[in-house]
Amino acid sequence: KQDAKYQKSLDGEIERRQSWTVDLSYELLRNLYLQVNCGYRLSKNVLLPDNNRGNLTQTEWLIALAWNF
């Protein structure tokens, strides 16, 4: 019986990733837009920069003003 934190499959290491994003855009004035973007990623059993496997969570925000001319 193997007692590992992450079980191997016949195809190799199993990695799981979930992500979602939300994009919002609002016209403040004529041709002036406020844009907001939020992204979230959850990764399990991925290869980390130190060559070990572990979990990783990332959250990203983008806030921008755009002028259309």
Q: Which domain holds residue 22?
A: 15-67
In a domain, 5, yes or no: no
Tens of pLDDT along the chain (69 residues)? 455 565 666 677 788 999 999 999 999 999 999 999 999 999 999 999 998 999 999 999 999 999 998
How many domains are contained in the chain? 1
1 part of a folded domain: no
What does residue 68 show for φ and ψ, rounded to 5 degrees? -95, 125
Domain membership flag for residue 23: yes
Taken in order 24, 26, 31, 32, is the CA torsion positive or negative? Answer: negative
Q: What does pTM read for this prediction?
A: 0.65
Residues 6 or more apart from 17 whose CB is under 8 A from it? 41, 42, 43, 44, 46
**What pLDDT was estimated at residue 6?**
56
